[in-house]
A and B are shown apart, each in its own frame.
Chain A
Amino acid sequence: MRKPLTEAERARQGRNIAIALGLVVFVILVFVVTILRLGGSVVDRPI
């Protein structure tokens, strides 16, 4: 059986989820801005 989380562990879990969500939002923002600024054709160029 899983041990119930202590208050400190619950708080840390909440902080971790908040940081993860912040990072995901940041990555999405950078991706969207790249497409907006450089245009969708940025992925068509030869590698």
Chain B
Amino acid sequence: MATPATLDRPIAPARWQDFLQLMKPRVMSLVVFTALTGLVCANRPIHPVLAGIAILCIAVGAGASASLNMWFDADIDAKMRRTRGRPVPAGRVQGSDALALGVILSLFSTMLLGMTVNWLAAGLLAFTIFFYAVVYTMWLKRSTPQNIVIGGLAGALPPVIGWASASGSVPFNAWLLCAIIFMWTPPHFWALSLYTSEDYEKAGVPMMPVSAGPASTRRQIWIYSLLFTPLCLVPAFTGLGGPGYLAVAALGGLVFLILAWRVYRSRAGDAPDPRQDDGLYDVKLAARDARNLFAFSILYLTLIFAALLAEHLLGVHPLSLLRPN
């Protein structure tokens, strides 16, 4: 928690852009995209203005939970190179202001979604904010290497909220979208943490490479990839995805598996062996494998959701391979 006195004493006046940064706009854009996909895939008529308000509320809810995260994690953010420039550890915004922004936006986004769209969607949004801010940030992140596996549920729920906004229900296909993002999170995040584990170690965060070691992390990335890529094909069999989706998911999944295999066989995250002249070079090369998987994982998720979105907007008939006529 942001207890050190320096974190509560701004060193420069806070600009509005600093408050926007508290809401992690890049994460918000991914949330908007997946929520929109869920909303469109529901195939239920919803007034465009209400659809826009639903997406806005989901985005603001995501921003609110990010702000709560920045308030609570300011102490560990200050220790990590990747996050030390964030508004609270950098001293541009007081921790208490980040907390206030998070609480107010949580209440506004949830209430507005409930009153304008429906209370199922609002309830799911409230649960998502609670899960990310309390269960993941305050509890799991600092206590278990499974933090991002379980905590990944918060990032996986936006398409379910989008679906609930449009239809007032959450059928199997909505949970399927949730499951895809849930299974995507471990290989995605652990690939990143393989080449940033020094930062996490310094901050005392038990990320998998810090707690179980790089070799175990690489093996788990491979196992999760073996589960994740076939799961991405399932929407083509449940009446959600069409031929375009199947092609993108299959081809992209193949590339994903190749990159995950290369990480598994690499020395990504290992400390360089001082006995070998080229040890440092090997490790740097392996970090490139982890970077490649990290970057491609974002592209792959974007592509499969974009394929679903495009098919539903264009009216492409789903394959429905396993659905009875």
Contacts and interface: CB of A to CB of B under 8 A. Distances in A.
Interface of A: 7-8, 10-12, 14-15, 17-18, 26, 29, 32-33, 36-37
B116 A33 contact: yes
A8 B19 CA distance: 15
Nearest to B115: A33
A26 B112 CA distance: 10
Q: In the complex, which of the residues B13, B47, B108 has the most CB atoms of chain A within 10 Å of its own CB atom? A: B13
Given A11-B13, A18-B19, A29-B53, 5 more contacts: A8-B13, A14-B15, A15-B15, A29-B112, A33-B50
Contacts of A17: 16
A33 B53 contact: yes
Interface of B: 12-16, 19, 47, 49-50, 53, 56, 108, 112, 115-116
Q: Is the interface of A mostly helix, strand, loop or mixed?
A: helix
Given A15-B19, A37-B116, A32 B13 contact: no
Which 9 A-B residue pairings sit nearest by Cβ, starting from the closest? A11-B13, A18-B16, A8-B13, A33-B116, A14-B16, A11-B15, A15-B16, A14-B15, A7-B13
Nearest to B47: A36
Nearest to B92: A11
10 contacts: A7-B13, A8-B13, A11-B14, A12-B13, A18-B16, A32-B49, A33-B50, A33-B116, A36-B49, A37-B116
Contacts of A37: 116
Nearest to A15: B16
A30 B254 CA distance: 47
A36 B16 contact: no
Nearest to A32: B49
Contacts of B47: 36
A22 to B, nearest CB: 10
Contacts of B56: 29
Nearest to B112: A29
Contacts of A14: 15-16
A47 B39 CA distance: 39
A26 B116 CA distance: 12
A18 B108 CA distance: 16
Nearest to A8: B13
B193 to A, nearest CB: 34
Contacts of A33: 49-50, 53, 115-116
Contacts of B13: 7-8, 10-12
B118 to A, nearest CB: 12
A36 to B, nearest CB: 6
